[in-house]
Amino acid sequence: MTEHVEDHIETVRVRRAPKFSVFLLVGAALGVIVAMILTFAFDGSQDVSPNTGLVYSQGQVFGFLVLVCVPVGLALAAVVALLLDRRSRNHTHSVTVDRESVQVDETP
């Protein structure tokens, strides 16, 4: 059994980048919360809609507001994530790394 060891010293660039999925989930959740607040803050569901002539329930109003607020929350969260990602590119660090690879030959 023989071992073959290769040793390389390299310089790599390291940066901290935001996780876009977390930002998008938080933006969608904030959109739902804003839709809920708007649904219950303004109790206009008892009135007849001047455009359609119908009376909408609070569930329907909440559904309509979710359809608007979630994409807006997603867009705003994506913009914030992109700005933080761009900022993190300016704060990269160069680090020297010792990379070692070991290959074991098990032929008798």
The total number of structural domains in the chain stands at 1
Question: For residues 26 and 77, what is the distance between their CA atoms, to the nearest angstrom?
Answer: 7
For 13-48, write each residue's pLDDT tens digit: 887 888 999 999 999 999 999 999 998 888 766 778
Question: For residues 57 and 15, what is the distance between their CA atoms, to the nearest angstrom?
Answer: 50
Domain that holds residue 100: 2-105
Amino acid letter, 89: R
User: pTM score, two decimals?
Assistant: 0.68
For 60-85, write each residue's pLDDT tens digit: 889 999 999 999 999 999 999 999 99
